[in-house]
Amino acid sequence: MQVVAVSWQIYLLTGSPLSLGLIGLSRFLPVLFFSLIGGVFADRYDRRRVMLVAQVAMAFFSLVLAFTTFKATISPLIIFLMIAANSLAGVFDTPARQSLVSLLVPKEQFVNAVSLMTTMWHTAIILGPSISGFAIASLGVGSVYLINAVSFLASITALFLMKKGGRQFSTRTSLKLSAIREGLRFVFKAPLIYSSMLLDFFATFFSSATVLLPVFAKDILQVGPQGLGILYAAPSLGAISGGLIISSFPHLKKQGKLLLVSVVLYGLATFFFGFSRHFFLSLFILYFSGFGDVISTIIRNTIRQLSTPDYLRGRMVSVNMVFFMGGPQLGEVEAGLLAAAVGTPASVSLGGLGTIVVSLLIAFFVPKLRNYQGHEIIIS
């Protein structure tokens, strides 16, 4: 819900597509400078406690946005600062959270677990933007920030109720530069891991169409904040469909080829979305972008998690954060700059074309990823 509210409010305050791109920069800078430290924290300390502190911090930042909006003292600077602060908390939350999954389910059920988790995530992304659009129209932007702050009580309660997930074994990971170097060495010596990260980065860098959805909703499709919420929800509906399909096949074959094809589908959908001038056609295209995106996400996450030992998992995720958050966030800046230069529709379509080209290049230069079947991974 807050993603929609922030984008809508920034665009109303500035009227500039470039300012929407700066949202991505505000999110990415904390990731760039602090993500590796967050990974060390996840490997050194109890992951539930790390998450607890981060969740409380994110709730507070949402309250700041709500308070300043209700008091009519909100400004683009305040929004960008709170986005950056929220991203900083996420730098510590994400490695700890993603490292929990493999400790909570048996490894033979991991693909199913990731599929179902991703499906739940995208279900929330469908409900959130849809509700957010109507909440903005009827109650104002500040109500969305307040709802988001209160919603953290659910995740905090879940952490207190969780009986396991701190870590698998005791660790001697230290808060030193050597611990960061150890994580980096592991990632860049594993072709399956670093190639999937590169694919993640470049695909999301070129196909960050969602940051420009407020422009489509307001100026191109002319559907207002309610339509904006539905536009945000359409990719997630496709993602739920893809996630449910993948979760019903526990033993997928030719996962490498499936991964690459799904990224190409994502790029094609983004390419054609830029040409659409009809609301329902746009929804249909965005559905397939989400369908392709979720399949690649599930396979990428499975590859990385099951090929990383527990004592390195937080650091692996933190390195990956630079790729999976850097791609879309820097891509939002690129999309905003390109939209200001050549127009919003052309910016989106060119991004989709770039995604297709990168996918084909990685498929050619990394045969180990292309030929990956899904049974090679042995967790250690």
Whether 380 is in a domain gets the answer no
Whether 375 is in a domain gets the answer no
Whether 378 is in a domain gets the answer no
pLDDT beyond 50 at 380: no
| Burial class of residue 328, CB neighbours in 10 A (0-12, 13-18, 19+) | buried
- What band does 165 get if pLDDT is binned at 50, 70 and 90? low
Sign of CA dihedral 328, 330, 333, 337: negative
Whether 376 is in a domain gets the answer no
- What band does 183 get if pLDDT is binned at 50, 70 and 90? confident
Q: How far is CA 357 from CA 206, 264, 289, in A?
A: 10, 9, 16
Sign of CA dihedral 332, 303, 307, 90: positive
pLDDT tens-digit readout, 30-54? 988 999 999 999 888 888 899 999 9
Residue range(s) defining the domain that contains residue 135: 2-370
Give, to the nearest 10 degrees, the angle between helix 279-306 and helix 191-206: 160
Dihedral in degrees, nearest 10, Cα atoms 47, 51, 53, 54 = 140
Query: Of 164 and 113, which is predicted with more confidence?
Result: 113
d(C-alpha 330, C-alpha 272), whole Å: 22
| Number of domains into which the chain is organized | 1
Share of the chain above pLDDT 90, in %: 38
Whether 86 is in a domain gets the answer yes
**What CATH number does residue 243 fall under?**
1.20.1250.20
Whether 379 is in a domain gets the answer no
pLDDT tens-digit readout, 188-243? 898 889 999 999 888 888 876 667 888 899 899 999 888 887 888 888 889 889 98
Whether 215 is in a domain gets the answer yes
Whether 303 is in a domain gets the answer yes
